[in-house]
Structure 1
Amino acid sequence: MTSTDAAVVTASPEAEAAVLGACLMATPARDSVADAARIVADGEWSVPAHDLVWLAITRLHGAGRPTGLPMVESELRRAGDLERAGGMLALSQLAQAACGSGDVEHYAGLVHGYAALRRYQSALVRGMQGARQTDPLAVPEAIAAHQAELEHLTGAGQDSDELYGRFGDHLDAHLDSLAKSVSAAAVTGLTDLDALMKLMPGQMIVVAARPAMGKSALALGIATANAATGAPTLVHSLEMGRAEVSNRILAARARVAFHHLRDGVDSMTQDDWDRLDQHAPALRSLPLWMDYNVTISPARIRSRIKSIVRETGRAPLVVVDYLQLMQTDQRSARQSPYERVTEISRELKILASDTGSTLIALAQLNRGPEQRADKRPQVSDLRDSGALEQDADAIILLHREDYYENESSRAGETDLIVAKHRNGPTATVTVAHQFHYSRLRDMAQT
């Protein structure tokens, strides 16, 4: 048998026994359990009995109790796992296989490494299975999902030591950072909203409303205003195609009536053409990327962000219009809308944190506002998942009084209700809507 024919080794029961044995022999002077726990995670043991023993050891250790052989046997018996763990004989054999206390981290590294290898192989198997089942028109999305899974494996556990330590170890560096000016990672283009909220890297902002409140107008306005500062910006438009988005941006920036652009040459005036000619050069040069694919998943967004970072050296502001139309990377037909939105919400928050992007996700509200006398939306109206409220760093709800009251004294006004703001105050910012130009503007600019 050649070396290429030999089966790939994906586990070391001997290394696992050495680590567990050292934990069974741990003393107050040398805490082998803590040394192993810094490296090995639950579920990384290849032998099921070893996993049961480890869980019993960590339960005892977490409660401040000894992890010697008698205590572990008692804990396994209490949990009903002693027989499945091999009984007292198996525990005695583990104790005999113990490595020295100074070698625990080495053997624990082997256990963790083999577990990572098994995850890697499983990911490759899933990739092959996905390739066999993928629609030919969805190959880019399947590749992006597989890349995201592999990237997750690459980064798993690598930053744990950097993110762990005594509070005081980093306090001086943090105090020094407070003496420096902190610039926003992105701008909305609305003066009062930018004053209230400083958009920072890693944030996920949810903008939610009932239909016809102006979510898309707000999102495209933020995207173009941010890009106009020279900052890279990425928009995923799942609801509107290229022509409609282009018309909306042109209408907002050039102040050409949206319905003129929609109806085409028969409705266009010479003034319209002059305005378009005046603003087109600036729009062409914007660092604004658009994705009109209707099959967007978190993995595809991550792939787009990486591409922009390679080109510009900066993480972009990302706008998703809108979240409930997205697909999950798993694409399970058995997922309920609640489960799907919950998964997407969590993945988008992780994506923003991992890439350093500021992410604005639009979302639909349920019919809750229509049931209230004042029609004002609330965070509890977010449709399909409470995870959006939990994961979002800020939530902005849009409300138009004149939509519900024809004779309203606030005609032309939109309230941007900052209902959640993890890093600052909540408040309501009032702006003017000019939907004939498909835009929202500061009140002072109307």
Structure 2
Amino acid sequence: MNSSPATVTSLTERSGGEPSYRSPPANIEIEIALLGAILVNNRAYEKVSEFLLPEHFADGVHGRIFEACGKLIERGQQATPATLRRYFENDADLADVGGARYLAEMAASAFNIIDAEDYGRTLYDLHLRRSLIELGEDVVNEAYGADLDINAVQQIEKAEHRLFELASTGQIEGGFQAFDRTLVKALQMAESAFRREGMLTGVTTGLEGLDKLLGGLQRSDLLILAGRPGMGKTALATNIAFNAARASFEELAENGTRTRVDGHVVALFSLEMSAEQLVLRILAEHSGVSSDRVRRGAITNDEFQKVFVASQEISKSRIFIDDTPALSVSALRTRCRRLLRTQGRLDMIVVDYIQLMRGSPNGRPENRVQEISEITRGLKGLAKELDVPVLALSQLSRAVEQREDKRPQLSDLRESGSIEQDADVVMFVYREEYYLGRKEPAEGTAEHAEWQAEMDKVHNMAEVIVAKQRHGPTDKVRLLFEAELTRFGNLAPTGMGGDVPF
């Protein structure tokens, strides 16, 4: 057949004469110019070393030259063609491009050191573009693949995680900040707290003693709230979220103007309870009618009217509940960003609870402790990235039950090392009534009378133990707890001890 030449001619004509293809973005000339500037004046390395790495060079040989320059400079030695020569004498790849002579030619073709940082940023941008291309190709190939162990949603989460990691490594605008500028921001925050009701610098918890001790929940902080089952940690977190959502506050803009904001925007991730169960708890707290009785329909007409009125009052609260089980940090981050875009703001994140989360989709931690470490680091990173407080609940180990005094300690946190290390604040919720109620002696005995007296002292009492606070003191805050309504509230001052008495 003689159709082959015609086909070739047709392809050539369609491509404009020469066959074309796309190659990954790179600029070898700039790589040579930057390395030449470093070899001529090692101060050029200081301008790029904070963000540029050897793997960011498209040419592997250039990456190794950059790495060798860095090793010498960090030792306090000079990186020149002469000092680098012995490092590359037996390097076959460098020999292919000219050996030691290639280093001398680089130095001879060097541009001004002033351009070094611009060259470095250009190379970094090209590296990110190549990484994006590689990521996109992997996403396409995995989507075409037939791996039955990974469904489409998991593939999306994996792609989001990789994209976030790439975006995180692409932050090259950091570094030192002038003290005077930082001081102005700190003074603005202090002024805002001074003029705000309650003198808070953070998001209110609605609990006076806790707000007084913490100054509110601070932006970019990871706060851990832990407790044994039955202590009420989910109830306390839900109360705090609802109090924040319905609290009005003044916001100070950069131009000095103040605006009144009705309620914080709260993202509440419930990995254990359903959204309906959480809403019933909030409804019970606000209406004063037990959520269990509401759920079973065992309420009177008057109580139903209270529930209806309460539902109308709280319907505009900007709490957004996600009850998806076994969320990963990357999926949680994506949903928070989406909420921020749609609502225009996000003021607080609540996660119930850490041990029900899972690590990154493509992560393979050796054990659960490492996975928890990855999760807490991710939550702390999310708090800083979105500049909001993240309140995360955590379980406690059974070691608490083995002690006479069952008040929790930092060492009682499950997988405690990473949680304690990454958290800015660690709080424990503790109710003496819960444990004392399980020690009831036989009725009619002297011991029972003593037990009843003790029960009366601790009835409806709870403690929040602030065991760690990076920015302030630690102490205990005593609260009112109404078990039937799963509601925490303020206690009247008693003047006892050193505790915060609210």
Q: What is the CA distance between 1:385 and its match in structure 2?
A: 5.0
Say which SS state the counterpart of residue 55 (structure 2) adopts. Answer: coil
- Structure 1 residues 12 and 442: CA distance shift in structure 2, 3 A: same
Q: Residue 467 of structure 2 aligns with which residue?
A: 419
Which of these residues, 354, 365, 370, is aligned with residue 323 of structure 1?
A: 354
Name the SS for the 1:66 alignment partner: coil
How many residues get paired? 435
Whether the 8 Å contact between 1:49 and 1:84 is mirrored in structure 2 is no
Instruction: Report if aligned partners of 2:428, 2:464 keep a CA contact under 8 Å in 1.
Output: yes
Letter in 2 for 1:195: K
Tell me the equivalent position of 2:36. Answer: 21
Q: Is the 8 A contact 1:141 1:300 kept in 2?
A: no
In structure 2, the residue corresponding to 1:405 is in which secondary structure?
helix
* Aligned mates of 1:111, 1:271 — CA distance in 2: 71
Match of 1:187 among 184, 195, 204: 204
**Structure 1 residues 25 and 299, CA gap change in structure 2 (3 angstroms):** same
Residues 225 and 169 of structure 1: CA distance in aligned 2, closer, same or farther (over 3 Å): closer
For residues 135 and 250 of structure 1, the distance between their equivalents in structure 2, rounded to whole angstroms, comes to: 43
Give the structure 2 partner of residue 224 of structure 1.
242
Identify if the C-alpha distance between structure 1 residues 97 and 323 changes in structure 2 by more than 3 Å, giving closer, same or farther: same
Match of 2:156 in 1: 143
Say which of 121, 131, 134 aligns to 1:109: 121
Gapped regions of structure 2 (runs ≥ 5) = 1-11, 194-199, 248-262, 438-450, 494-501
Spell out, residue by residue over 1:75-117, the C-alpha distance to the aligned partner (whole angstroms, 9 max, x if none): x58xxx9748747963441331232234433432342122112
Residue type of the partner of 1:181? S
Paired position in structure 2 for 1:432: 480
Q: Report the Cα offset of residue 380 of structure 1.
A: 2.0
- CA gap of 1:174–1:278, structure 2 versus 1, over 3 A, is closer
SS at match of 1:181: helix
Residue 50 in structure 1 maps to residue 41 in structure 2: no
Asked if 2 retains the 8 angstrom alpha-carbon contact of 1:188 and 1:226, the reply is yes
The question of whether the paired residues in 1 share the 8 Å contact of 2:128 and 2:170 is answered with no
**Quick check: 123-132 or 336-345, which moved more?**
123-132
State the one-letter code of the partner of 2:36: G
Distance 1:307 1:116, change over 3 A: closer
Give the residue type in structure 2 aligned to 1:318. I
Compared with structure 1, are the counterparts of its residues 391 and 177 closer, same or farther at alpha carbon in structure 2 (3 Å cutoff)?
A: same
State whether structure 2 residue 41 is matched by structure 1 residue 8: no
Q: Tell whether 2:266 aligns with 1:233.
A: yes
Change in Cα spacing, 1:134 to 1:279, as seen in structure 2 (3 Å) is farther
Aligned to 1:69: 81
From 362, 367, 373, the equivalent of 1:336 is: 367
CA 1:192–1:393: 2 relative to 1, 3 Å? same
Q: CA deviation at 1:372?
A: 2.5
2:484 match: secondary structure = coil
Question: Helix, strand or coil: the match of 2:427?
Answer: strand
Does residue 286 (structure 1) correspond to residue 317 (structure 2)? The answer is: yes
**Structure with bigger gyration radius:** 2
SS at match of 1:433: strand
**8 Å contact 1:209–1:397 — kept in the other structure?**
yes
Give the C-alpha shift of residue 361 in structure 1: 0.6
Q: Establish whether residue 246 from structure 1 lines up as the match of residue 279 from structure 2.
A: yes
Q: Is the 8 A contact 2:24 2:130 kept in 1?
A: no
Q: What per-residue deviation string (whole Å, max 9, x for no partner) do you get for residues 278-316 of structure 1?
A: 211012111111111114222332233233323332223
Distance 1:422 1:377 in 2: 19
User: Quick check: 1:73–1:82 contact (8 Å CA) kept in 2?
Assistant: no
- The alpha-carbon distance between structure 1 residues 133 and 63, as it changes in their structure 2 partners (threshold 3 A), is farther
Structure 1 residues 331, 164: closer, same or farther in 2, change over 3 A? closer
Moved more, 354-363 or 63-72: 63-72
SS in 2 for 1:196: helix
Q: Does 1:118 align with 2:130?
A: yes
1:129 deviates by 4.7
CA distance in 1, matches of 2:336, 2:314: 21
**Aligned equivalents of 2:350, 2:158: Cα separation in 1:** 20
Residues 18-27 or 224-233, more deviating: 18-27
Instruction: Name the CA distance, whole Å, in 2 between partners of 1:85 and 1:376.
Output: 64
Give CA deviations for 1:216-269 in whole Å, capped at 9, x if unaligned: 00111111111112111111111011332222222222111233123x12x222
Residues in 2 aligned to 1:430 and 1:84: alpha-carbon distance in whole angstroms: 72
After TM superposition, give the deviation of residue 171 of structure 1 in Å. 5.3
1:391 and 2:422 equivalent? yes
Match of 2:175 in 1: 164
Q: Distance in 2 between matches of 1:145 and 1:295?
A: 15
Distance of aligned partners of 1:192 and 1:135 in 2 relative to their CA distance in 1, 3 Å threshold: farther
CA shift, 1:39, in A, is 4.8
SS of 2:415's equivalent?
coil
Equivalent residue in structure 2 for 1:368, among 388, 391, 399? 399
The 3 A distance-change label for structure 1 pair 361 and 11 is: same
Which residue matches 2:259? none
Taking the TM superposition and a 5 Å limit, the aligned residue runs for 1:289-328 are 289-328=320-359
Cα distance in 2 for residues equivalent to 1:82 and 1:379: 55
Report the more deviating stretch, 149-158 or 36-45.
Answer: 149-158
2:229 corresponds to: 211
The amino acid that maps onto 1:58 is G
Give the percent of matched residue pairs that are identical in Structure 1 and Structure 2.
28
CA shift, 1:421, in A, is: 0.9
Separation in structure 1 between the aligned mates of residue 47 and residue 352 of structure 2, nearest angstrom: 46
User: Tell me, which stretches of 5 or more residues in structure 1 are unaligned?
Assistant: none
Question: Structure 2 length normalisation: TM-score?
Answer: 0.77
